Structure 1
Amino acid sequence: MMSSFIPGLELSRTFYLQVVRPLVAGVPHSAALIGAGSEVLAFDTERSTDHDWGPRVVLFVTLERTGQVRHALDEGLPEVFCGYRTELGESGSHGVQVSQASTWFTERLGFDPLAGVGVLDWLSTPWQRLAEVTSGEVFHDGLNVLEPARAALRWYPPDLERYVLAGQWRRLARQEAFPGRCGEVGDELGSALVTAELARDLMCLWLLMRRRYPPYAKWLGSAFGRVSGAAEASEELAAAVSAEVGAGAWRERHRHLGVVYRRAAALHNRMGRAAALDDGLRDHHRRPFPVLDAGRFAEALHRAITDTRVRALPRVGSIDQFAHSTDLLTDPRRCRAATRAVLDL
């Protein structure tokens, strides 16, 4: 019986040190907890243990050692470690994934970062996948493959960062007046819905400006809450999305959103990735809907791009910014095909 919950990262680290490493002694290898799973992003709780959870290690070995290592693990792994079964899920397979580095990265991302990271690679890889590879923990890197790969993916190159940030500002620009426009015609539900979408986009923008890959929806709020300076913005966004549905509530939504717009604009100005801009709100055309006019920030970022290849890209952003299908975003092959088509790469 388990006496208390052990966070997955701690559990897997101990599992590697006490069990896996002795079983592969003498075999050159690299080991980490990366990839899928809430424990990789340190968002796991006791609730996480109800399925596909337990001591896990991603183990990289050379091709000629694969059979030897798998046999050693199959024969030597205990059934239970620290109160958790080492078999995960209904398949009966244990939690040590044995692979070659290039194969694992290509299956997870659609490319091997050890061979270089190009424009298509960056823009076709969902933020969740980038977070999964650069988070977690490296336990041992005897093959010198994990640290170089993670370093290559730590963050976008400067001009691609500007391009992605511009894409996020542009998403805000398209809808920032809509909470008021919906509310003005009596569509309070529509106003609330657009407000929630804007809140999501603002949270992603804030994370991107802080050089954090936004995780998928289940963990977005948790990740946002951990970012420096986001406490007040979090309170204002919570007030915006929870404003009581009723006549005139759209004004409250705009008021709370406006505070976060200005905070985001101030952060843009402090980060210095493009020209600083006025962070004041203004009416949308002649309509009484206070907006930041977020498109100004997208344009400033585009003007700051010096790489002509990046500047020539269609202004639609990365895969997360023009596609929301989970079935697409979890399939690297389709992500690459969609990005290649949309960006004409």
Structure 2
Amino acid sequence: MTSGIVNISRGFFEDIIRPLIEQHFPDVAEQMACGVYGYGSEALFLDDELSRDHHWGLRVDILLPDAMHRQLGVAILETIVPELPPQYGGVALRDAHVTGHGIAPESLQAFLRRTIGLTDLPHTDAEWLDIPEVDIVHITNGEVWHDPSGEFTRIRHALMEYYPEPVWLRRISHWCRYASGMGIYALNRAALRDNPVYAFTAFSRCIKWSIELAFLLERTYFPYDKWLYPLFQQLPLATRMDPLIVEAVRPETSWERRVELLGALADVLDEKMIELAIIPPHPQFAGSGTSSYRLLEHAYGAILKRLPADVRNHVPCWDQIPLEQFHTGYVESIPIEEWDAILHLTPE
């Protein structure tokens, strides 16, 4: 686990950024929430050498009330940036997270809107279910060094308390349905039909959904796919699940054996759900040669029976819809040449 850049960035904030803002914008200093959080591997303390080819370096994320950001956001940069040193802690500002200066003032409400799709905490189970889980992580991760108003900290801490129980159970049921019905079942059928393309698709999805279920059962928000496995390995359930996953992904493992291993993963998850009283104890089940071992769909059905109708009939959000809405607007707003440069695409 790194991230040295977070520690250097904190020094940059305390020594350089905070004094300048307190000098030029004392009202802003009383309202801003500063730290490293949001997107980027360093906010998860998982950055490495590969992380440094884009949006990596000195970084101070600054959240402001929406009206204050609209009024002063540009003025803050125009005033502060000219007074910054060329480097801090051995890191050049030209290599900063935000090229040239490393500070990123933003509206708190806009930040929340592009992560969880709301401008404050969710107030209903439906609002909770409409939030993409991976983007909750972008609010709760990293570090906050300065938040005198406490507004961002209030939101972070409330989200860290985790899901209301009906929301938690509905998400578990949905993931059980897909890990089983669109995972092990689909893989077995693809293997029987000698369809390796669909087999690889179903196998990969089942591994992903099984890992995400482990996070759910440990009451821990799961991150986006790139960092799913490294953080999964820190969970208690990984002790039993990871050896099965490691064998399953080996190139020499047969499809028949992979189906068996996914069934063993399902057993581990099922046992944990019984231990947590999410589902009642049940008899040992046998699977089918054609349908495989759809054990997690038993859990799906058992959980649905105990859910209130408003939660039971509300499908949880899968995709990063608020982020993609923001991203679409951003990419549309810049020249295609600038977008190509961000992608490290160079004409030959």
Question: Which band: TM-score by shorter chain?
Answer: 0.7 to 0.9
Extract unaligned runs of 5+ from structure 1: 336-345
Among residues 51, 54, 57, which one is paired with 2:60 in the alignment? 57
Q: Where in structure 2 are the equivalents of 1:215-230 lying within 5 Å?
A: 215-230=223-238
Aligned residue number for residue 318 of structure 1: 316
Aligned partners of 2:37 and 2:141 also within 8 Å: yes
Aligned residue number for residue 22 of structure 1: 19
Q: Where in structure 2 are the equivalents of 1:151-300 lying within 5 Å?
A: 151-154=157-160, 155-175=162-182, 176-188=184-196, 190-242=198-250, 244=252, 249-272=254-277, 274-278=278-282, 280-284=284-288, 287=289, 290-300=292-302
Summarize deviations over 1:61-96 as a string: whole Å, max 9, x none. 451554654344213322211222224579845221
Aligned residue number for residue 41 of structure 1: 44
CA–CA separation in structure 2 for the residues paired with 1:281 and 1:332: 44
CA–CA separation in structure 1 for the residues paired with 2:110 and 2:292: 50
Pairwise CA RMSD: 2.8
CA–CA separation in structure 2 for the residues paired with 1:75 and 1:218: 36
Q: Where in structure 2 are the equivalents of 1:20-169 lying within 5 Å?
A: 20-25=17-22, 26=26, 27-28=29-30, 29-62=32-65, 63=68, 66=73, 69-87=76-94, 92-113=99-120, 116-154=122-160, 155-169=162-176
Aligned partners of 2:58 and 2:97 also within 8 Å: no
> TM-score under structure 2 normalisation?
0.80
Summarize deviations over 1:99-154 as a string: whole Å, max 9, x none. 3322332244321125x444454233322211111111111111211111112322
- Which structure shows the higher helix fraction? 2
Aligned residue number for residue 305 of structure 1: 307
Q: Compare 124-133 and 98-107 and name the one that shifted more.
A: 98-107
Instruction: Report SS of the residue matched to 2:280.
Output: coil
CA–CA separation in structure 1 for the residues paired with 2:110 and 2:205: 37
Q: How far apart are residue 203 of structure 1 and its match?
A: 0.6
Paired residues, what number?
315
